A and B are shown apart, each in its own frame.
Chain A
Amino acid sequence: MSDRQLANSHLGSLEYDPAPESAAIAKLKPSYGLFIDGEFSDADSHEQFETVNPANEETLSMVAQASAVDVDRAVGSARRAYDKVWSKTTGAQRSKYLFRIARLIQERSRELAVVETLDNGKPIRESRDVDIPLAAAHFFYYAGWADKLDHAGFGVDPKPLGVAGQIIPWNFPLLMAAWKLAPALAAGSTCVLKPAETTPLSALVLAEILEQAELPPGVVSIITGDGSTGAALVEHPDVDKIAFTGSTEVGRMIQQRTAASHKHLTLELGGKGANIVFEDAPIDEMIEGIIDGIFFNQGHVCCAGSRLLVQESVADEVLRRLVRRVEQLRVGDPLDKNTDVGAINSAAQLLRIRELTAFGESEGATRYTSSCELPQKGYWFAPTVFADVAQSHRIAREEIFGPVLSVLTFRTPEEAVAKANNTNYGLACGVWSEKGSRTLWVAERLRAGVIWANTYNRFDPTSPFGGLRESGFGREGGRHGLEAYLNV
């Protein structure tokens, strides 16, 4: 018997048959063009690149590589649309466009979920139950702001910024597109959106949805491409605003490149979230929360709880239960409805995760890795927990962006806060305790843009999300999310 079977011999003899969702529901086309001025067209150079399914390395489709020429055309169309149409469209009208988009996402939700899982590698359960519903909800929420901007707290009749260039990451492709487009359109700005190069497809289906919603041409352009496309967008002189979500490394470059320009900028970057567990945490829900915090979305989450700071008095018991729970995670075919952890998004990301994990071992931390079987093809990494991690270890300081948890201990609330804050990042933290006053005391002192108490990785369009310090600036969600696209 394998290690896993030994460990699990007391667990689960109700073996689940495969329960695959059908890939055909995605209705993928063999290739997609750029969505500019309300229609699909080839890239100027006719250059294309493939996007693959990270679960099996098979090609899903070919998408266009947008060059500076295409970027210029897209920005031009966004500017024309802004000047001639969108800036003259009333809030009530914009509101109704956004409601339409939200409804269409709901109607095509199953198709979108399958597309997302195929292109990203995340389990279908997550695409279906988290990504797509949240994307629709985001459009619903901001639809309702478009006709109420007077009440958003930015003064009467706040004006939009104009043309927004938006660059999004590969971890929540459709959701990130929603987070960018919805508030921008509600505020009255027009958009040029560049999806990540490894996950362009759901944004392209969204483009079809924008067509179905009869959004005026040019209000939103969706241009696919690699880093050079993003760079061209950042540098384009006729863009009023840049919104970027991605790594701190790239965010830094963008900030440098736009520093001397007139462009407004918001950044949502990396993190090294600390999940703080006190001895009076509700134990079973806490274990789930830690698991959720780092293994949800394969750990490809900027706000992941990638550090567990556990009170020393309960560290042993927590670790024991954690390792037991990790063994239960079902890793495998993302299209299987019973899969908990899917594929790593790309070979490049897998390389990074392996490098840092190898480092963790060499630094002296103790490694526990699930003994789950990994598929032969595709990019896979088994959920891993490092115990006995020190603050100075690289795996305690650097963002791994994978299913790897580093466990450290603390003795007092003050020490927990100090350790949690001992990072240049400041995106998210979790606090687990049944004592409300202490949770609030800790929350007040944590330098993080989002703090979850007795839960983790909860998102809602009404709730502002964003970081402190090197995790970026600006907020998405809530009333605050409008600020990024208003000239206030």
Chain B
Amino acid sequence: MAHDDPHRFADIHEELHRHLPSEPALRVKALESLLVEKGMLDPKAVDAWIAVYTEEIGPKRGATLVAKAWLDPAFKQRLLGDGARVIVELGFEGWAGGHFKVVENTPAIHNMVVCTLCSCYPHAVLGVPPNWYKSAAYRARAVREPRAVLAEFGEIMPEQVEIRVWDSTSELRYMVLPERPPGTEGWSEAELAGLVTRNAMIGTQRTLRADRSGRP
């Protein structure tokens, strides 16, 4: 079948729509049973992947990168210049990390990341994306009215700050390096990392606060 035939998969979806169980949980259960019976799946490996994405691969990795960049200008330059290499050095490499790119917020520029065509996300350093990032509303609105979107996240952006929205249309994966909040002089890497939120690294939060309540 032609690689660009728009009916190639649409016709299969039509069949699936009519025949699959109505509940997602039942659909997943049926798929798992089938793959195990066909010798294509080991349920213990499924458990292991869930543990990895619950306990290990998540926004703490990104927060570590941010804290290191705040403390070490040379590290920051390498992170901005070749993020994919830096995450290998830290053992953070993985899915969607091959072309990892960090963009830096400044007093004049605010960066915000979206994927309008699907839900591309730097999984290797931020883990599983939040539902809002994958929602139709965010994907539709982020490129057209980023200031209204930011307001819904509690950020009122001054007009003189330029917003740069990064639409992840290729295999490059973007993460925002937020500004270090004032009042954090002398803080340790772990303390600084404790301030960094997932939303700040996606760019839907601009302002981080020096609040030691979250310190490790």
The answer to whether A and B interact is: no
- Residues of B that sit less than 8 Å from A by CB: none
